[in-house]
Amino acid sequence: MRSSIGVGLIGMGVVGSGVARAITENSTALHSHVGSPLKLIRVAVRDTSKQREFMVSQNILGDNPEELINDESVNIVVELMGGEHPALELILAAVKNGKHVVTANKEVISKHGSEIFSLARENNVRVLFEASVGGGIPIISPLMRDLVANDIKSIKAIINGTTNYILTRMANEQADYQQVLQEAQELGYAESDPTSDVEGIDAAYKLSILSTLAFRASVKDTDIFTEGITSLTDKDFSYAKELGYSIKLLAIATRTDSSVLGRVHPALIPKEQMLAKVDDALNAVEVETDLLDKVLFHGPGAGSMPTSSAVVADIVNIARTIAGGTDLLDPVRLSDEIEIRSIDTLITKYYFRLEAEDQPGVLARIAAVLGDCGISISSFIQKGLGDQSTNAELVIMTHEASESSVTRAVSSLRGLEVVRMIGNVIRVVE
Ligand SMILES: NC(=O)c1ccc[n+]([C@@H]2O[C@H](COP(=O)([O-])OP(=O)(O)OC[C@H]3O[C@@H](n4cnc5c(N)ncnc54)[C@H](OP(=O)(O)O)[C@@H]3O)[C@@H](O)[C@H]2O)c1
């Protein structure tokens, strides 16, 4: 038996503190899982004088991650600093030094996954990243191993807790986006700069990782069509409810033959569907396959302890193979035969909310514009906007139409003098 397996930790914030605590306080249980003791050799942070959730001995605390990467007694480097740089360079340097790596960094894996995986293969080390998507929910490992016999057709997911929390409150309280965002920031559910969450960027990083694993193809964040939640209003929630739908920020990847379409956008989903019931900061990933039909992974997508659970599991998996002297299976072999499809090829149903003059014949003119673009109406709601207004609000639900025809229709409707404003156009996912 090895005397111990050395762990070096870069970052001891929300997740790193939980990981340091678990390695230190659960050492006996981890020893028995691994077969050798796990030892925290070094921890690198920015500010060594900071008071932390969990404190480690000053002897192992430093502010130079390079030292940790070059320390011969460190077998596993755990990167929990976040951000693209210098996290990427540190991961690459660790791999070149023959260290295994565990990371929760969705941005680095999304943008640089294929480079990291092939360097890891060359150096005969492993890079595991279970916590990068869905926090504590096991989803990466099932995609890499447990679902390997399946042909995965699609992934449909709620993978950003901040936006799901905001949308849940908007739906339940008929509240305004700005007001809910501000309260979410005060409660610590949203960052002071919420751009990455509310514009769908964070969800696109995560969807690119899931798609890469599900379809065994390099799908980058830039391959994902991304639209955030900032245009949603309390009116959209009210109409969605009336029509029997919930509104969620969905991350969807679909494989057709040899192409993949990845998209993150707000969507109307029938309220009886499982994903429609995933509320607050929870996450869920629905995977549709040929053998299993649909399987749903659901749980806390962030937070210190849930995320640490996934990071420590990766550390234990690597440590077991080091202790047993066996090779960890190479889980990420990518094919380059998959093409990325543009959002223009999407065919789905749509919800239009617009304001138009409240006069006879207006609906017929709008329907004619839609018809000219090949879009047919399945139902509509018309409401007056009060005694003083000469306008009415129209909500139109369409039959299936192509994204490119909807883009054309929106532009034509903007040019129609009876249309005062296009409030929103939201894709429907059934
Ligand atoms: N928070 C979650 O719930 C969650 C969930 C899933 C995945 N993740 C991912 O986990 C990673 C860590 O997130 P977090 O929330 O724990 O972040 P965090 O609380 O901001 O902690 C970051 C840590 O990294 C350290 N650090 C930053 N730059 C450094 C540098 N140049 N050199 C040395 N140390 C440096 C910081 O040091 P100081 O403490 O001295 O400033 C801090 O301890 C990110 O990739 C994130 O996306 C987080």
pLDDT at 331 over 90: no
Residue burial 240-261, b: 16+ Cβ < 10 Å; e: rest: beebebbbbbbbbbbbeeebbb
CATH architecture entry for 346-428: 2-Layer Sandwich (3.30)
pLDDT bucket at 326, cuts 50 / 70 / 90:
confident
Mutate to test the pocket of ligand 1, among 45, 67, 209 (most ligand atoms within 8 A of CB): 45
Residue 90 alpha carbon to ligand 1 centre in Å: 14
% residues pLDDT > 90 (the chain)? 92
The whole-angstrom separation of Cα 93 and Cα 87 is: 10
Q: Please tell me if the CB atom of residue 264 comes closer than 6 angstroms to any atom of ligand 1.
A: no
Mutating to test ligand 1, I would choose from 51, 80, 102, 109 the residue with most ligand atoms within 8 A of its C-beta, which is 80
Residue 305 CA to ligand 1 center (angstroms) comes to 14
Q: Which residues, at least 6 apart from 111, have a Cβ–Cβ distance to it below 8 Å?
A: 84, 88, 205, 220, 221
Peptide bond preceding 86: is omega within 30 degrees of 0, i.e. cis?
A: yes
Sheet-wide strand order for 38-44: 61-62, 38-44, 5-10, 76-79, 100-103, 127-128
CB 43 within 8 A of CB 36: no
pLDDT at 186: 94
Q: Summarize pLDDT for 376-406 with one digit per residue, the tens.
A: 999 999 998 887 888 999 999 999 999 999 9
Mutation probe of ligand 1 site: the residue of 81, 282, 307 with most atoms within 8 A of C-beta: 81
Q: pLDDT band at 351, cuts 50/70/90? A: very high
Q: How far is the CA of 237 from the centre of ligand 1 (A)?
A: 35
Cα dihedral across residues 261, 266, 146, 125: positive or negative: positive
Question: Does the pLDDT of residue 130 top 70, yes or no?
Answer: yes
More confident residue, 153 or 188: 153
Mark whether 383 is an active-site residue.
Answer: no
Q: Whose CA is nearest to atom 25 of ligand 1?
A: 11
Domains 5-135+304-324 and 140-300 share a fold: no
Contacts of 74 (CB under 8 A, 6+ apart): 6, 7, 8, 41, 42, 68, 99
Q: Is 305 in the pocket of ligand 1 (CB under 6 A)?
A: no
HSE-CB of 393 using CA atoms within 13 angstroms: 12
Task: Determine whether the shortest distance from the Cβ of 302 to ligand 1 is under 6 A.
Answer: yes
Is 370:409 a contact under the CB 8 Å cutoff? yes
Mutate to test the pocket of ligand 1, among 10, 12, 15, 201 (most ligand atoms within 8 A of CB): 15
pLDDT value of position 337: 83
Ligand 1: distance of its center to the CA of 82 in Å?
Answer: 5
355 Cα: distance to centroid of ligand 1 (angstroms)? 46
Using the mean position of ligand 1's atoms as its centre, give its distance from the Cα of residue 80 in Å: 5
Nearest CA to ligand 1 atom 9: 104
Q: What is the pLDDT of residue 388?
A: 81
Domain positions in the chain: 5-135+304-324, 140-300, 346-428
User: What's the 45 CA to ligand 1 centre distance in angstroms?
Assistant: 9
Phi/psi of residue 227, nearest 5 degrees: -135, 130
Q: Which of 206, 235, 248, 271 is catalytic?
A: 206
**Closest ligand 1 atom to Cα of 14:** 16
Ligand 1 neighbour 46 (Cβ under 6 A): yes
Do residues 359 and 392 make contact, with C-beta atoms less than 8 angstroms apart?
A: no
Task: Give the Cα separation of 331 and 143 in Å (integer).
Answer: 9
- CATH hierarchy code of domain 5-135+304-324: 3.40.50.720
Instruction: Say which CATH class 140-300 falls into.
Output: alpha beta
What Rg value do the Cα atoms of the chain yield, rounded? 24
Interatomic CA distance for residues 225 and 100, integer angstroms: 33
Residue by residue, what is the 3-state secondary structure of the chain? CCCCEEEEEECCCHHHHHHHHHHHHCHHHHHHHHCCCEEEEEEECCCCCCCCCCCCCHHHEECCHHHHHCCCCCCEEEECCCCCCCHHHHHHHHHHCCCEEEECCHHHHHHHHHHHHHHHHHCCCCEECHHHCCCCCCCHHHHHHHCCCCCEEEEEEECCHHHHHHHHHHHHHCCCHHHHHHHHHHCCCCCCCCHHHHCCHHHHHHHHHHHHHHHCECCCHHHEEECCCCCCCHHHHHHHHHHCEEEEEEEEEEEECCEEEEEEEEEEEECCCHHHHCCCCEEEEEEEECCCEEEEEEEECCCHHHHHHHHHHHHHHHHHHHHHCCCCCCCCCCECCCEECCHHHCEEEEEEEEEEECCCCHHHHHHHHHHHCCCCEEEEEEEECCCCCCEEEEEEEECCEEHHHHHHHHHHHHCCCCEEEEEEEEEECC
333 vs 134, higher pLDDT: 134
Residue 49: φ, ψ to 5°: -90, -5
Going by alpha carbons, the residue nearest to atom 29 of ligand 1 is 46
- What pLDDT was estimated at residue 336? 77
Q: What's the token pair of residue 287?
A: 């995977």
**In ligand 1, which atom is closest to the CA atom of 16?**
16
Torsion of CA 421, 424, 427, 429, to 10 degrees: -130
What's the mean pLDDT in 187-213? 96
With CA atoms as reference, report the closest residue to 430 among 298, 215, 267, 307. Answer: 267
44 lines ligand 1 (CB under 6 A): yes
Question: Which residues are paired to 281 by β-bridges?
Answer: none
At residue 1, the pLDDT reads 66
Residue nearest to atom 19 of ligand 1 (CA): 13
**Alpha carbon separation from 247 to 98, 241, 289, 386 (Å, rounded):** 46, 9, 25, 26
